């Protein structure tokens, strides 16, 4: 198949959606499909200078956003229309719901009679009154058209499917295809002495991986540190990922007020090789998000055999059972976080049971091979149904 993927961002930009699009594109290419990606040149506060490149056999086009400082969240990439007109595609797959790049891709595909698939990924709740008003306006205008014009919609989880249905999508259109992880990448992890020396650590390592954003509630982990340090004075919280909303200053302020700054290590973006080293030394993985579309870093931690403490809000609540695959937070509160950290660090049998069940879950349901098997089926059905309608 000739497959066009349209996504707001793509590696080397870091994030769950970015990783998802890259991994499925790479696996589809490996299977002999012709994959082209259209994306922006935005890379975590920097600009990627390459406009056209071949990345692992994937043809990638990168274009500037239209007035990025004003419309950054709308991800309007005018050149999407031009590339779609120039390329013959068997199917177009757009990623991101509140993205004008997705609207462009699906609408042009609709006009040209090309089958289209939309994966909304996370549909985040409003973070302010103004933000809520803007999201509501989009949902009732462009968002409704986007859902109507998409031939098929891919939800990452049952929770994601319910959100998409509530926005007005026909349930007949929705197929569930989850996120995935490359199990082989984590199969031979060995505890990195180099990273332990870099962290000057001889105690438990608490790890957070992901965007530093308002919904991730990393501040609640920092607030839990005083209680954790009472029992584990040498513990360190390592935060890995890009700062999306200038949250790092707040984290530093909170850690200073609580006098735990020496126990907080902020790494920012790191290469994949170093990220794997952090996974190799972590004793607990924390993801206390107020909302999580799926939680790709959570799967990576499970694959790395790290016990996971996570909020059930969104995707994690669909795929994880409390005290079987992970410890689920009842609320993203600092006292709840410290209580569960204490439990997983002191109860060896609990820790071993969580790690074993979580790894088995990933291995049987959430590898990229399994994900792309399902995606190929979705693509085939979408193309066939489009031909019948035509």
Beta-sheet strands, E only, within the chain: 2-6, 34-40, 42-43, 46-47, 52-55, 58-63, 91-95, 116-119, 152-155, 174-176, 205-209, 236-240, 264-268, 284-287, 308-310, 327-328
CA dihedral of 353, 354, 357, 361, whole degrees rounded to 10? -170
- At 323-356, the pLDDT tens digits run 999 999 998 899 999 999 999 999 999 999 999 9
- At 100-139, the pLDDT tens digits run 999 999 999 999 999 999 999 988 777 777 778 888 888 8
Span 183-365 CATH architecture: 3-Layer(aba) Sandwich (3.40)
Q: Which of these ranges, 21-25, 39-43, 94-98, 103-107, has the smallest mean pLDDT?
A: 39-43
Can you read off the two tokens belonging to residue 63? 């274009």
| pLDDT above 60 for 70 | no
Give the pLDDT score at 68: 60
Q: How far is CA 98 from CA 58, 142, 144, 186, in A?
A: 25, 9, 11, 33
**Residue 249 contacts residue 220 (beta carbons within 8 Å):** no
* Domain locations along the chain: 2-180+367-389, 183-365
Which candidate, 304, 303, 323, 301, places its Cα nearest to that of 312?
A: 323
Q: Which residue has the tokens 């085939």?
A: 380
Q: What percent of the chain has pLDDT over 70?
A: 97
Q: What percent of the chain has pLDDT over 90?
A: 71
**Top-tier CATH class for 2-180+367-389:** alpha beta
**Residue 36 contacts residue 63 (beta carbons within 8 Å):** no
Evaluate whether 2-180+367-389 and 183-365 have a shared fold.
yes
Q: How far apart are CA 152 and CA 266, in angstroms?
A: 40
Which candidate, 177, 15, 38, places its Cα nearest to that of 104?
A: 38
Q: How far apart are CA 60 and CA 57, in angstroms?
A: 9
pTM to 2 decimals?
0.88
Angle at 122 between CA 100 and CA 110, to 5 degrees: 40
């Amino acid at each position: 198949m000739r497959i066009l993927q349209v996504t707001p961002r793509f590696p080397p930009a870091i994030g769950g959606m970015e990783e998802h699009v890259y991994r499925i594109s790479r696996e589809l290419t490996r299977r002999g499909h012709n994959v082209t990606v259209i994306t922006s040149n935005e890379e975590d506060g920097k600009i990627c200078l390459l406009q056209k490149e071949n990345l692992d056999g994937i043809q990638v086009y990168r274009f500037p956003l239209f007035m990025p400082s004003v419309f950054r969240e709308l991800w309007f990439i005018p050149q999407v229309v031009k590339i779609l007109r120039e390329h013959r595609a068997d199917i177009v797959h757009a990623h991101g719901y509140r993205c004008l790049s997705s609207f462009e891709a699906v609408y042009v595909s609709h006009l040209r009679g090309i089958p289209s698939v939309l994966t909304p990924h996370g549909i985040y709740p409003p973070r302010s009154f103004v933000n809520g008003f803007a999201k509501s306006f989009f949902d009732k205008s462009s968002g409704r058209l986007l859902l109507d014009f998409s031939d098929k919609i891919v939800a990452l989880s049952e929770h994601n499917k319910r959100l998409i249905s509530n926005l007005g999508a026909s349930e007949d259109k929705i197929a569930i295809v989850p996120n995935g992880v490359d199990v082989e990448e984590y199969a031979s992890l060995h505890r990195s002495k180099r990273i332990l020396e870099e962290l000057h650590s001889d105690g438990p390592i608490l790890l957070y991986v992901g965007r530093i954003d308002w919904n991730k509630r990393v501040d609640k982990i920092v607030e839990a540190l005083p209680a954790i340090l009472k029992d584990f004075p040498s513990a360190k919280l390592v935060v890995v990922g890009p700062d999306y909303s200038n949250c790092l200053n707040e984290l530093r302020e909170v850690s200073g007020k609580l006098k735990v700054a020496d126990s907080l290590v902020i790494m920012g973006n790191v290469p994949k090789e170093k990220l794997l080293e952090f996974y190799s030394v972590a004793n607990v993985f924390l993801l206390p998000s107020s909302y999580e579309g799926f939680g790709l870093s959570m799967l990576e931690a499970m694959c790395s055999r790290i016990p996971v403490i996570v909020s059930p809000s969104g995707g994690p609540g669909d795929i994880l059972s409390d005290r079987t695959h992970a410890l689920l937070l009842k609320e993203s509160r600092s006292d709840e976080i410290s209580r569960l950290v204490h439990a997983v660090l002191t109860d060896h049998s609990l820790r071993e049971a969580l790690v074993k069940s979580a790894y088995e879950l990933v291995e049987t349901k959430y590898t990229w091979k399994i994900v792309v098997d399902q995606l190929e089926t979705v693509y085939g059905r979408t193309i066939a149904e489009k031909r019948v309608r035509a």
